[in-house]
Structures are given as C-alpha cells and as structure tokens.
Amino acid sequence: MEETTPPTFEATPVPPSEIRPAPFPVFRELALLAGVLVSVFFLPYLYSQAKAPIADATANMRAPQATTLRVPESAPSIPDASVFEHIALLGKTSAVYDVSRGEFLYTQGSDTVLPIASITKIMTALVAYELMRDLDTVITIPPPTTDEYSPLAIGDTFTARELLDYTLLVSSNEGARAIAITAAKSALGNEATMDDFVRAMNIRARTLGLTHTSFKNVTGLDIGENPGAISSAEDVAKLLAYITTTYPDLLAVTQASEKTFVGTKKLIYEAKNTNGVVRNIPGLIASKTGFETSAGGTLAVAFNAGLDRIIVVVVLGSTWSGRFDDILELVTKTQLSL
C-alpha cells in the first residue's frame, strides 16, 4: 500500500517469483546499456560502436537536457558550519548538500549504506522520463502484481505525466510499476521486462557516479527480509540535485500538499502528499518520502534558499515521524548557516 499512517508499512513485499533474472539475448542487454548511456553524454562513442539492434533500441530515447546549474551572478556566501555543531537527529545518516557550491554543508555518516524505501521512486521517475518517447503516452493500469491495496482502478488510463505525478505524490507502488514497464517497452520493445528497467536504473546510478546505490525493484519495497534498494545520504543528495537542476519540472508536483486526478473512467483520485511537512519548508522544490521495515523512515527534500541557491537535505534510517523532525531541524540549521 501507499504510505498512510503507522504502523502500516508502505507495502507488502514483492513475491519472489517477480524478482528473477531476465533470460534475454545479449543484444538486449547491450541495447539497455546503450540506451541509458545515450541519455547522458556518450552518444558519439555509442554510435561509433553500437550495432543495429542497439541503435534501434536507442532511437526513441529522450534527448538529455543541459546539466548546467543556475548560479547567482555573485558567488554564494560561505556557510557557517558551526550552526550544525551538537545537532541531534533520530536518523542514522544524513546530509545537507549545497548544489550551487557543489559541496556538503553537513554530513552524518553520509557514506553509510542503508535501505532507502520509496525514495527509490525518484530514480524510477528519472529513468522512465529519459526512456519514454512522450509523457502524453497513455498508460493503462494493469491487474495488481501483489495483494497490496491500490486505489488505482484496473483498466483506468492516465497520461504518463499524470501517472508520474500521482505516483510521486502518494508513493504509489502500482503506479511505479505501470510507468516502469511502459517506459521499458517504449524504449526496448514489447518484450522488455521489469528486470530490464531495474537494470537501467542501476546503469543510470553508475553513470551519475552513485557508487553506494543499488536497486532490486522500482518501488523500494522490501523483498522478503532484504531491501528493494540501498544508497547513502550523499548519493541520494546528488541524485536529487541532478534531477532538480536537469529536469526541474519532473518532481514539481511534490511541492503540493494534495492534488486531484481523474482517469478516463471518470473516477476521482484524491492524492495527498506523503511528505507531512511540505508546507513547513520555504522554497520547497521537490521531496520524496520512504518508509519500510528495513529502512525505517526516510526523506529527501530540495529547497531554494534564495537567489536560486538550491539546497538538498537527506535523512535515512529515522522513524515514521522522526524523519520529518530531522528534516525540519536540518533545514532550519541550513537557513541559519547561510
């Protein structure tokens, strides 16, 4: 299920039968790798070495946008790191990243690798956005793959943009799966599988230099006793910084506290943001929550501290309510430091 209230966890684990290696030919593995790399910056190299199947698979990739950050004309002020002294958080690891300066203002065990739960979905959104031909693509909600409850009606349809927004806002697991399989088939052909998409997520993590990050599914749900995704606070901060500066509209819906969606079946879906402090962070640009058995409470936010100075704050390994307290404490300290 989506995040609601404790102690209910974010979802029922994915059945083992759903997590399996994809028995597909070598050329599809190469096509997947080439497709993701093309979306970054290796297009000339790939075109010189790729074979026809790879070229066919990458032909529909979304062209990447420039990654140049918007930096104020005057150099950002040097923050006062002393404000972070003696800070006490419930989270096991955390980080505050000043995107404009390209440096961390504060870290607490930031290289510690922990489960990240539904923060996973920001990578799912990124890869889907880069693989999919068109966000006006219509996606039909398929039968559920688990016994978890989902308010999304089977057979209802949304545009990819609408379903991405809904999924990010309420942390919908069924929405994430529907988006992922549609994007995989769009880029790699109708035989593409969910495993292909997860492979693309891991390839994308490597191209972004996220050395502590690994994905086993598109939702972040635990698989039995094992986490669906792991990362570090620094890696998550860098990922969120990349998305908010490269594709600023991709996570924009997470600034809202709620939004109404209507599918083609004319059903009304009232979506409330799983970030309970969305209204308490001035200049909020993006946010994503997570909560699972292995991960506890997780939260990542990006906000504009003024003059386009983007700050990313991440907390992992906290509690259901503690993640919100931790984030607000770090946001307040950050504002005092600038």
Which member of 121, 216, 238, 333 is catalytic?
121
Is residue 321 part of the annotated active site? The answer reads no
Residue listed under structure tokens 């490269």: 246
Is residue 118 part of the annotated active site? The answer reads yes
Beta strands 229-231 and 258-262, pairing class: unpaired
Surface-to-core class of residue 196, CB atoms within 10 Å of its CB (0-12 exposed, 13-18 middle, 19+ buried)? buried
Which member of 39, 118, 214, 231 is catalytic?
118
Instruction: Using the Cα atoms of residue 211, residue 216, residue 218 and residue 221 in order, give the sign of their dihedral.
Output: negative
Taking the C-alpha atoms of residue 313 and residue 287, their distance in angstroms, rounded to an integer, is 9
Is residue 100 part of the annotated active site? The answer reads no
H runs (alpha helix) in the chain: 26-38, 43-49, 52-58, 120-131, 160-170, 173-188, 194-207, 233-246, 322-337
Q: Is 238 annotated as a binding residue?
A: no
Residue listed under structure tokens 């607490």: 108
Question: Taking a C-beta distance cutoff of 8 angstroms, is the pair 12, 183 a contact?
Answer: no
State both tokens at 171.
Answer: 């942390």
Q: What single letter denotes the amino acid at residue 122? A: I
Intra-chain end-to-end CA distance of the chain, in Å = 39
Which member of 39, 110, 150, 171 is catalytic?
171
Three-state DSSP class for 129? helix
Annotated binding site for substrate: 288
Binding-site residues from annotation? 288
Residues with a catalytic annotation lie at 118, 121, 171
